[in-house]
């Protein structure tokens, strides 16, 4: 009964009522707020970013509000399971005790019958029995006393057995009654707890459903944001592979015709997940084999003997004006692949072949679907690749990277800039085979370390200022007043987010159809909102995370003093406002001043 009282105290009606009221009131307050802040559409990359932040905050707040009730529901479910388990134990124990009672009652009946017979016989004998006659007629006095004592001891023993059995039966009956009472109480508690859990299940279910809706909105906003960012990135003609590299020119030694000047240099290319091609080249030159190289970039199993009889359907057009509607054996398909310079070290070629084979098999679901011949998938040509490449294909026949026996989508890109990321880090779906990596021969504590030890440091895209404009010697250098303008739009947007549609680059049409404010108008609007605008910038410094490879802070100094900004925030507004095609393309960047 102590257990029952304990359970009752844990699920008392008054505390539960308060629990429900609190839960409902929280959800009544939270749902409308979230609904208002999570609009699934956005007009530009900045608006997308802000709405993503709001929706993520809403999701996080919902998670925080939901958690104690999820925990409480989990406890209630455990209690219900415990009640049910205890009831089953009691039922089994009750059956055993009922059988013991029946056995005891049967034994008691036997004892009573035996004792009754003895008592009757003694009674009959006692009517005809005279102790004096027994004594005087006995051979000896001792025999007479023994016979009298024996008769009395038999009677006493019968009395003891009857009393003991009766007490045992009574004890069993009391225990059985107690168990039946506990069973009834537990059944009641289970029923009541189950009823209460129904309400909590519904509320938690509603919260989960709304979080699912928020997740869908976040995915939509992220996709729109990527589209806006990709629209400007597309002007840079960034190739994924090392074959067509050369779209970015390092302007550090190019004079634009003015000074002082600033340029933003990015380490690596945008999609730095999976195989780092220039990193593979550097690792091969350092003596690593294909398996070593692949294990550095993927958390996957190096599987040999995979089915090499699978056919791949190639459909579409490549970047070389060729059209495809081909069914190639997977090994033949790979011989037409052009994703890495064929004069690179053999082990780098082998690593690339294995990654490409894995990607093609995963992309087509082992040949059940088709794959395009362009950079959107993997670049192939009608012509066979060089003999060195074909030999790498033959050397690795049947070798695939797998997880759980299934080929992985082994992404790759030309240059990671010393750091690799997971697919989730760059806004793609999370995967368990991509990994974060400091892609260098040793630890990194400075940019000098990165330049000296990164495996992909030989890439022309390792450190580059992306974009250019027709004037200023076709460079990406900015004047101090141009950088000041970029800082001003960031300050203005932070003070008044409703101005964002007016803050895009001035040398292209406004994508929202709104008026684009020039530098003078931005300064005026910022001043009218209590801000202090810059007219010139004298210095810029950055802070960065040497472990993850991200710029974390940008500090700008000029005639309006000093201001520090989040690294990703600065990058977003820089790309929104910078002229022509000039932009920062990755998470790790630096500022050069000349």
Architecture of domain 2-231: Orthogonal Bundle (1.10)
Strands (E), 333-465: 370-371, 400-403, 406-407, 412-413, 419-420, 437-438, 463-464
Whether 300 contacts 389, CB under 8 Å? no
pLDDT for residue 122 = 57
> What mean pLDDT, rounded, does the chain reach?
84
Least confident of 219-228, 452-461, 497-506: 219-228
At 514 the three-state DSSP class reads coil
User: Is it the case that residue 12 has pLDDT exceeding 70?
Assistant: no
The CA distance from 65 to 67, in Å, is 6
User: Is it the case that residue 8 has pLDDT exceeding 50?
Assistant: no
pLDDT for residue 347 = 99
The model's confidence at residue 464, banded by pLDDT at 50, 70 and 90, is: very high
Which carries the bigger pLDDT value, residue 208 or residue 544?
544
The model's confidence at residue 374, banded by pLDDT at 50, 70 and 90, is: very high
Kindly report, residue by residue over 70-126, the tens digit of the pLDDT: 887 788 778 778 777 877 787 777 777 677 777 766 766 776 666 666 666 655 655
Cis (ω within 30 of 0) for the bond into 523? no
- The highest-confidence range among 241-255, 422-436, 476-490, 497-511, by mean pLDDT, is 476-490
- CA-based nearest residue to 538, from 473, 487, 472, 470: 487
Name the token pair of 394.
């033959």
What average pLDDT does range 533-550 have in this prediction?
Answer: 97
Beta-bridge mates of residue 589? 266
User: Is it the case that residue 183 has pLDDT exceeding 80?
Assistant: no
User: Which residue reads 């509320």 in tokens?
Assistant: 203
Whether 550 contacts 204, CB under 8 Å? no
Task: Give the single-character DSSP code of 538.
Answer: E
Least confident of 135-139, 252-256, 317-321: 135-139
pLDDT for residue 162 = 66
Write the DSSP assignment of 143-206 as a string of letters.
HHHHHHHHHHHHHHHHHHHHHHHHHHHHHHHHHHHHHHHHHHHHHHHHHHHHHHHHHHHHHHHH
What average pLDDT does range 51-55 have in this prediction?
Answer: 83
User: Is it the case that residue 232 has pLDDT exceeding 90?
Assistant: no
**pTM, full prediction:** 0.69
- The structural domains of the chain, with segments of one domain joined by +, span 2-231, 247-265+464-593, 271-442
Which carries the bigger pLDDT value, residue 171 or residue 579?
579
Least confident of 37-41, 160-164, 331-335, 393-397: 160-164
pLDDT for residue 90 = 74
Whether 214 contacts 38, CB under 8 Å? yes
User: Is it the case that residue 11 has pLDDT exceeding 60?
Assistant: no
User: Is it the case that residue 370 has pLDDT exceeding 70?
Assistant: yes
The CA distance from 471 to 322, in Å, is 35
């Amino acid at each position: 009964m102590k257990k029952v009282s304990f359970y009752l105290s844990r699920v008392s009606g008054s505390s539960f009522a308060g629990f429900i009221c609190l839960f409902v009131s929280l959800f009544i307050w939270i749902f409308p707020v979230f609904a208002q802040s999570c609009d699934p559409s956005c007009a530009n990359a900045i608006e997308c970013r802000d709405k993503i932040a709001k929706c993520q905050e809403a999701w996080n707040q919902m998670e925080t509000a939901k958690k104690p009730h999820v925990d409480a529901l989990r406890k209630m479910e455990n209690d219900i399971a415990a009640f049910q388990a205890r009831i089953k134990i009691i039922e089994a124990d009750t059956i055993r005790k009922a059988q013991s009672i029946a056995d005891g009652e049967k034994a008691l009946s036997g004892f009573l019958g035996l004792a009754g017979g003895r008592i009757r016989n003694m009674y009959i004998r006692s009517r005809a029995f005279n102790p004096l006659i027994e004594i005087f007629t006995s051979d000896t006095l001792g025999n007479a006393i023994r016979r009298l004592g024996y008769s009395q001891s038999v009677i006493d023993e019968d009395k003891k057995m009857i009393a003991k059995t009766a007490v045992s039966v009574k004890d069993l009956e009391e225990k059985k009654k107690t168990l039946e009472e506990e069973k009834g109480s537990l059944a009641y508690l289970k029923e009541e707890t189950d009823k209460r859990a129904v309400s909590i299940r519904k509320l938690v279910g509603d919260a989960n459903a709304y979080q699912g809706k928020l997740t869908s909105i976040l995915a939509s906003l992220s996709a729109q944001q990527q589209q806006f960012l990709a629209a400007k990135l597309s002007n840079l003609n960034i190739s994924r592979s090392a074959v067509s590299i050369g779209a970015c020119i390092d302007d550090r030694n190019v004079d634009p015709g003015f000074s002082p000047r600033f340029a933003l240099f990015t380490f690596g290319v945008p999609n730095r997940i999976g195989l780092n091609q220039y990193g593979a080249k550097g690792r091969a030159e350092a003596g690593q084999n294909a398996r070593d190289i692949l294990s550095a970039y993927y958390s996957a199993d190096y599987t040999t003997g995979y089915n090499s009889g699978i056919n791949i359907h190639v459909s579409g057009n490549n970047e070389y004006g060729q059209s495809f509607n081909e069914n190639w054996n997977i090994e033949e398909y790979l011989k037409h692949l052009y994703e890495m310079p064929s004069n690179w070290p053999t082990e780098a070629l082998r690593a690339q072949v294995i990654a490409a084979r894995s990607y093609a098999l995963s992309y087509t679901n082992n040949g059940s679907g088709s794959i395009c011949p362009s950079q959107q998938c993997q670049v192939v040509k009608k012509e066979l690749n060089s003999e060195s490449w074909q030999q790498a294909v033959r050397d690795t026949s049947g070798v695939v990277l797998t997880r759980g026996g299934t080929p992985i989508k082994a992404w790759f890109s030309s240059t990671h800039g010393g750091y690799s990321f997971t697919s989730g880090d760059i806004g793609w779906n999370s995967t368990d085979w991509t990994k974060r990596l400091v892609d260098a021969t040793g630890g990194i504590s400075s940019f000098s370390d990165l330049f000296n030890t990164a495996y992909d440091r030989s890439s022309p895209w390792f450190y580059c200022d992306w974009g250019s404009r027709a004037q200023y010697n076709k460079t990406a250098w900015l004047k101090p007043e141009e950088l000041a303008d970029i800082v001003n739009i960031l300050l203005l947007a932070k003070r008044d987010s409703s101005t964002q549609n007016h803050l895009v680059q001035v040398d292209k049409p406004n994508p929202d159809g709104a008026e684009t404010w020039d530098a003078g108008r931005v300064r005026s609007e910022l001043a009218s909102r209590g801000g202090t605008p810059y007219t010139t910038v004298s210095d810029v410094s950055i802070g960065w995370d040497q472990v993850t490879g991200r710029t974390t802070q940008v500090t700008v100094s000029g005639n309006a003093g000093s201001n520090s900004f989040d690294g990703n925030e600065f990058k977003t507004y820089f790309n929104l406002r910078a002229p022509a095609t000039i932009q920062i393309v990755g998470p790790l960047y630096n500022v050069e001043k000349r």
